[in-house]
């Protein structure tokens, strides 16, 4: 190879390197996001469907739109752990159409917060879930994924970023204190996230979720029903064992399905706090 060819090869190598450095990995998925939002925007701008035409013997001659409305707001925050090995792996998962999963926010171990979806749009993070009478959690919630494989402690920087984010969300959308819960709470038969090392008590002390007092009532009425109490908190008790496990992971940092007297006293307090918050 002569000197001229060597120079051309070197030049193309430099150009390729420069192109690779300037190409954002998620450029194509960001374009897809913008396209999808544009399509949804068209649906919002369309005149409401005249369903009254099929209800009225004499349909109104013209459509009349109300002047009093705004955007639907999220009323819950659902906290997850990613159950993956890195933040980059999770970002990749949420940008592949075939996975059919997403979240509004992803918090990396170094505290970096990725805002992946507009808060007013519906993320696919809760799956088949139930909390109280709400069976469509995705339509009323913000999903936050924390980079954690499901077995490790959460990094202090992650928790600080989470607290900062929750402060913004609570103030912006007026989310009730009791409505900051975990994926395992709304899907007890399928999920256990965030894991038992998640600092729920710290969050509750900051106003995100309810907690119990350290001084517990001395005893309970003999008619106290654990399944009934769990249902009052919000748990789906079709599978009582799964509901107990979810409750104990959240409030007792325990992964056993046995409710001892102390556990029952904690549950009693959580019921009282939940009822008083309504």
- Catalytic residue ranges: 145
- With tokens 């002047």, the residue in question is 67
Give CA separation, 154 vs 63, 78, 158, in Å.
Answer: 54, 16, 7
Would you list the DSSP string of 226-275? HHHHHHHHT---SSHHHHHHHHHHHHTS-------HHHHHHHHHHHHHHH
Non-local (6+) Cβ contacts of 102 within 8 A are 94, 116, 117, 123, 124, 125, 143
Alpha-carbon distance of 9 to 14, in angstroms, equals: 9
Q: How wide is the angle at C-alpha 170 spanned by C-alphas 67 and 192, nearest 5°?
A: 120
Sheet holding 105-107, edge to edge: 113-115, 105-107, 141-146, 76-81, 180-182
Non-local (6+) Cβ contacts of 112 within 8 A are 87, 161
The DSSP 8-state label assigned to residue 132 in this structure reads: T
- With tokens 């955007």, the residue in question is 71
- With tokens 């002569």, the residue in question is 2
The DSSP 8-state label assigned to residue 206 in this structure reads: T
Write the burial class of residue 234 (CB in 10 Å: 0-12 exposed, 13-18 middle, 19+ buried).
buried
């Amino acid at each position: 190879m002569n000197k001229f060819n060597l120079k051309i090869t070197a030049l193309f190598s430099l150009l390729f390197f420069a192109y690779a450095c300037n190409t954002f990995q998620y450029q194509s998925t960001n374009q897809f996001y913008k396209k999808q939002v544009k399509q949804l925007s068209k649906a919002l701008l369309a005149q409401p469907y005249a369903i009254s035409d099929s209800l009225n013997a004499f349909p109104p001659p013209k459509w009349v739109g109300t002047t009093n409305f705004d955007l639907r707001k999220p009323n819950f925050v659902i906290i997850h752990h990613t159950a993956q090995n890195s933040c980059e792996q999770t970002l990749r998962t949420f940008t592949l159409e075939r996975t059919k999963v997403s979240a509004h926010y992803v918090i990396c171990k170094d505290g970096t917060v990725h805002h992946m979806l507009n808060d007013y749009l519906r993320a696919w993070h809760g799956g088949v879930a139930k909390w109280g009478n709400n069976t469509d959690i995705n339509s009323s919630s913000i999903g936050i994924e924390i980079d954690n494989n499901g077995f490790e402690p959460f990094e202090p920087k992650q928790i600080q970023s989470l607290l900062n984010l929750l402060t913004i969300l609570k103030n912006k959308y007026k989310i009730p204190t009791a409505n900051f819960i975990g994926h395992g709470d709304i899907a007890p038969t399928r999920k256990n996230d965030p894991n038992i090392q998640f600092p729920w008590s710290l969050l509750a002390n900051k106003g995100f979720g309810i907690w119990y007092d350290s001084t517990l009532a001395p005893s309970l009425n003999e008619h106290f029903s654990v399944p009934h109490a769990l249902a009052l908190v919000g748990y789906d008790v079709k599978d009582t064992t799964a509901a107990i496990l979810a409750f104990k992971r959240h409030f007792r940092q325990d992964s056993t399905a046995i409710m001892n007297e102390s556990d029952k006293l904690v549950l009693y307090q959580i019921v009282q706090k939940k009822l008083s918050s309504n």
